[in-house]
Structure 1
Amino acid sequence: MSGRTRKLLLAALAVALVAAFFGLGLHKHLTLEALKASRQALTDARAAAPLGFAVGYFLLYVLVAALSLPGATVLTLGGAAVFGFWTTLVLVSFASTIGATLACALSRTLFREAVTKRLGPRLAAVDAGLAREGAFYLFTLRLVPLFPFFVVNAVMGLTAVPLSTFYLVSQIGMLPGTAVYVNAGTRLGELTSLSGIVSPGLLVSFALLGVFPLAARRAVDVVRRKRVGKSTQPAPSGPNHP
């Protein structure tokens, strides 16, 4: 099978999965309103088949992340409401990273060759820079969400950053943000009336959602200054001889 044929089949599979997602109306279930309406049913389903429910949730999350479909945030909040904090943190951390890596690989397979032909030396220069600092820049993008999740996946797919590096850095860099959203989801899951909106726990969760990007940006700035400081330090001189 030629490379072109493989690309066409992969593109057709991706399109078919996206069409099935919307055609079956799955996107209608990935809203806050649908989550609130079906929370008890989901909790009962999880109690009836804990392992199967967790596997299904994990695979759905991977699919949503890999195809850049809408609903990852609601899946995170919903998972926290059903599974609790720690189980959801583990499931979402790995599912989102695997999905992101698949999205990166899909972008690379389908588009990198065409982009390389079009940009040529300019893309080579970008690849050279990423070879030196790519892991740090990707970590910055993951820790401080300046760009949407799916944009980072797609753009990194156009570069030569190794998928193993992409996976590892994404796994670590996305973990703090994932924890914040999962924590917010556990609080949202406790809401039984409008009065619960002003509960201290929920307020803390939303405060963390607002403060996290600022704190992460400050942490990245500190690391960057240290890196620059090390690179500008003069090399130690050799011993003096009479």
Structure 2
Amino acid sequence: MRDTTQGTPRYLRVLPLVALAIVAVVAGYMFRDLLTFETLRDNREALLAFRDAHYAVLLAGFIAVYVAIVALSLPGAAVTSVTGGFLFGLVVGTAANAVSATIGASLLFLAVRWGIGEALTKKIETSEGRIKTIRTALVDNEISVLLLLRLLPVVPFFVANLLPALVGVRFRNFVWTTALGILPGCAVFTSIGVGLGGVFDRGQAPDLSILWSPQILGPILGLAALSALPILIRGIRGKKEI
């Protein structure tokens, strides 16, 4: 069966998603025990020595691995983000984490959009009822919704990558809102990694529960509230017009 609007066989358009799923399953099984804090602790000296001798190579390799983790939706993104801070410090680590996550999310977005997202978007646009209403509301508030997906901690990262591709948001808006929206979280994870050496020296494990502390969660939720403000204003204006 062909997609007449694109002239590409439907099965060819699904191949990237099938390939991603297969690679994700295989990689998840093979590396399930590697992306852990225990692995980082046991290999810390070797990693730090390699970083000091081959900084650019390790940075490029780190970014490549992180991009693959995000693009394939593999577990271990949190550990990788913390590792970025441990290896490269707060500034470079935050930049590396943000760039890697943005590239990986963009690759996944394009694969889903090219595979089934475009066809699904067209079906939604030609449909009626509640689904079309939700789609219209999303288009009208695209930037705010995309930023909310990134800032709200209850939204899993892979969901925030997949959903926009399925409902047809603009790719350029997806990219820049991803890069901007994940910065606060990247900075927090990276800062945890900066102090990771001392944590290992004390024989402890990193405490990621700090992410839910008021001093961390409060500012992020504040940014989420600012992102939601345009939606609220449009809603109030719409009610007044009615």
Other-structure match for 1:136? 144
How far apart are 1:111 and its partner, in Å? 2.8
Q: Secondary structure at the match of 1:158?
A: helix
C-alpha contact 1:80 1:189 (8 A) present in aligned 2: no
Other-structure match for 2:221? 217
Q: TM-score, normalised by structure 2?
A: 0.80
Q: Secondary structure at the match of 1:27?
A: coil
Other-structure match for 1:162? 170
Aligned pair partner of 2:80 in 69, 75, 86: 75
Q: TM-score, normalised by structure 1?
A: 0.80
Aligned pair partner of 2:111 in 106, 109, 119: 106
Are positions 1:4 and 2:7 aligned together?
no
The runs of 4+ residues in structure 1 deviating greater than 4 Å are 116-119, 205-209, 222-233
Aligned pair partner of 1:153 in 157, 161, 172: 161
Q: How does 1:12-27 map to 2 (within 5 A)?
A: 12-22=18-28, 25-27=30-32
Other-structure match for 1:57? 62
Aligned partners of 2:146 and 2:64: how far apart in 1? 25
Are positions 1:176 and 2:184 aligned together?
yes
How far apart are 1:59 and its partner, in Å? 0.8
Unpaired stretches in structure 1, ≥5 consecutive residues: 234-242
Aligned partners of 2:53 and 2:148: how far apart in 1? 41
How far apart are 1:128 and its partner, in Å? 1.8
Aligned partners of 1:208 and 1:45: how far apart in 2? 30
Structure of larger gyration radius = 1
Question: Match for 1:157: what amino acid?
Answer: A
Query: What is the aligned-residue RMSD (CA, Å)?
Result: 2.9
Other-structure match for 1:91? 96
Other-structure match for 2:135? 127
Higher RCO structure, 1 or 2 (CA under 8 Å, sep 6+): 2
How far apart are 1:16 and its partner, in Å? 4.1
Aligned partners of 1:58 and 1:102: how far apart in 2? 14
Instruction: Decide which moves more: 1-10 or 220-229.
Output: 220-229
Residue 174 to residue 194, structure 1, CA distance change in 2 (3 Å): same
Number of aligned residue pairs: give it.
227
How far apart are 1:126 and its partner, in Å? 2.9
